[in-house]
């Protein structure tokens, strides 16, 4: 076990708040006009929280430490209100144990989401939308004694893809993802079958807010 170390501020935070400022800036600065149909690619920065549970073997409170996330969304604007999107998201974080004298980091872990979203446009002028999400979550511990694990995931999202030009839009979104664990609540397991965590919960919840620029081709 290692004592928790403070991470330096992420350079992604500056871009995140810059994108947020663009959204609240007077929209008259940007010539909106008609939005082009076609392929849509959205690189984004985000912030993810959640992933809390209790280890029934030790009684310790465990959590995936909240941190920055990064991702890419690929979709196609077909001119209708219904669209299909493919989402990749990565959070590099740590599994931390609390409930003792000071929190300790158990293992560094990458949390990856591979998702498909059915997106429903609610208002074309503002780009407001809601989405239903299905896919998998992959836990990749940075430890040779623990295996990577892939689990089924479901989620909901909503936000805006606000046009700032014919081929560009500003995307702001919030989403919640539920990842379903094994029936015994085991997670972060090794090749011999032993697991780092056993929890009574079979669902791991995480919530993410993102900001990105959508490019249309």
Q: How many angstroms separate the CA atoms of 120 and 37, rounded?
A: 16
Q: 136, 116, 140: which is closest to 178 by C-alpha?
A: 136
Q: Do the bridges between strand 128-141 and strand 149-165 make them parallel or antiparallel, or are there none, so unpaired? A: antiparallel
Residue 209 is part of a domain; what is its CATH number? 2.40.160.20
Most confident of 87-91, 122-126, 146-150, 187-191: 87-91
The pLDDT assigned to 78 comes to: 85
Residue 12 within any structural domain of the chain? no
Residue 92 within any structural domain of the chain? yes
pTM over the 0.85 mark: no
Burial (Cβ within 10 Å: 0-12, 13-18, ≥19) of residue 135:
buried
Average pLDDT of 58-70?
A: 89
Q: How many angstroms separate the CA atoms of 66 and 135, rounded?
A: 21
Q: Quick one: what percent of the chain has pLDDT higher than 70?
A: 80
Residue 145 within any structural domain of the chain? yes
Residue 100 within any structural domain of the chain? yes
Whether residue 15 is predicted with pLDDT greater than 70 in this model: the reply is no
Contact indicator for 187, 196 with CB cutoff of 8 Å: yes
Contact indicator for 77, 216 with CB cutoff of 8 Å: yes
Whether residue 22 is predicted with pLDDT greater than 80 in this model: the reply is no
Range of the domain at 106: 31-216
Q: How many domains are there within the chain? A: 1
């Amino acid at each position: 076990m290692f004592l928790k170390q403070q991470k330096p501020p992420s350079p992604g935070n500056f871009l995140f708040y810059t994108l947020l400022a663009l959204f609240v800036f007077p929209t008259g600065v940007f010539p909106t006009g008609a939005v082009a149909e076609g392929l849509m690619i959205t690189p984004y920065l985000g912030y993810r929280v959640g992933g809390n549970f209790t280890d029934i073997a030790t009684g310790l409170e465990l959590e995936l430490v909240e941190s920055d996330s990064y991702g890419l969304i690929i979709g196609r604007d077909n001119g209708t209100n219904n669209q299909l999107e493919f989402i990749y998201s990565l959070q590099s974080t740590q599994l931390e144990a609390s409930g003792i004298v000071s929190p300790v980091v158990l293992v560094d872990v990458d949390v990856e989401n591979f998702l498909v979203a059915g997106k429903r446009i609610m208002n074309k002028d503002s780009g407001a939308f809601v989405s239903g999400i299905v896919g998998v979550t992959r836990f990749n511990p940075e430890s040779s004694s623990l295996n990577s694990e892939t689990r089924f995931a479901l989620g909901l999202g909503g936000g805006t893809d606000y046009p700032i030009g014919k081929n560009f839009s500003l995307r702001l979104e919030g989403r919640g993802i539920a990842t379903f664990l094994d029936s015994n609540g085991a997670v972060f397991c090794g090749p011999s079958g032993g697991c780092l965590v056993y929890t009574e919960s079979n669902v791991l919840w995480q919530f993410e807010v993102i900001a990105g620029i959508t490019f249309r081709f």
